[in-house]
Amino acid sequence: MVAHAGVRNRPIGVFDSGVGGMTVLHELLVALPHEDFLYLGDTARFPYGDRTREELQAFCAEIGEELVARGAKLLVIACNSATAAALSDLQERFASAGIDVIGVVTPESQAAVVATHTGRVGLLATPATVGSAAYERAIASADAHVRLTSVACPDLAPIIQNGFPFDEQVMATVRGYCRPLAEAQVDTVILGCTHYPLVRPMLQRMLGPRVTLIAPGAAVARRVECALEARGLSSDRATEGDYRFLCTGDPEVFRAIGTRFMQMPLTSVEQVELLPAGSRSADLVAGES
């Protein structure tokens, strides 16, 4: 079933705790050039990596309702911690509106299973993501014979978000995160936080050239494209789509950091105050045909 043009040309909503999700947004912009995108960075509550599951579920519900109220036809959780904690909750929340919710964990896990030759896969992620065991479940579902070695990296996302102040102490910290993966002789490593692709060259050097690094962007873009086609929601425009930004923290700080992440201009950033989940249910826009 093909939706009418008004629905097809609504934006895709993408969100993260900060600007790390722009690594996913960048891939979406390349893969789906005719789509509009609305990105929300919850910078006022960054980082998500040490939050509880209950906190993350509440945050994601608020953000999801904000994006849907602004017309989003599909949601992408471009944050590993949020995906691990709240994907199923958001999928259930917006199912009746016909709005798909896509996270980063399953696409990355499936890509890692395909890439590994030895069945030994590593994971670098935030404490919340590692603690959720979401990747263990996703890997086991894709291939029960693949062994996953997980390493929590509490400092890495904040270091990247705050502007790459890399010195010898930071390098030593990151080497410490990579060491258990080298000892486990993994041949594939999942970058389990959307900030981490920004330091991919450093991680590749520390892990070695024969280790395949898996980032979520391309796999998520393929999943989004399939979901849009399945629902008849792909944009029908022939021109290049638009992308806009929202944040809960300081817009100028967001713009400065985000421009480095996107390697594209952030023309306008709107600061938003999120409402409690459920307080605006009547405003939700269903993706009906």
pLDDT 10s digit of each residue in the chain, 289 long? 556 668 899 999 999 999 989 999 999 999 999 999 999 999 999 999 989 999 999 999 999 999 999 999 999 999 999 999 999 999 999 999 999 999 999 999 999 999 999 999 999 999 999 999 999 999 999 999 999 999 999 989 888 887 656 678 888 889 999 999 999 999 999 999 998 998 899 999 999 999 999 999 999 999 999 999 999 999 998 899 999 999 999 999 999 888 877 877 887 899 999 999 988 754 555 444 4
Q: Could you give the residue numbers annotated as active site?
A: 79, 193
CATH class (in words) of the domain with range 105-215: alpha beta
* 265 exposure class (CB count in 10 Å sphere: 0-12, 13-18, 19+): exposed
For the sheet with 269-271, list strands across it: 100-102, 74-77, 12-16, 37-41, 243-247, 269-271
- CATH architecture of the region 5-103+218-283: 3-Layer(aba) Sandwich (3.40)
Nearest-10 crossing angle of helices 105-115, 80-94: 120
Cα–Cα distance for residue pair 221/51, rounded to 1 Å = 27
Report pTM: 0.90
Q: 12 to each of 4, 198, 235, 281, how far by Cα in Å?
A: 16, 23, 10, 19
Tokens (6 digits) for 97 = 């509106």
Listed in order, the ranges of the chain carrying CATH 3.40.50.1860 are 5-103+218-283, 105-215
Do residues 253 and 243 touch, judged by C-beta distance below 8 A?
no
Cα–Cα distance for residue pair 71/78, rounded to 1 Å = 18
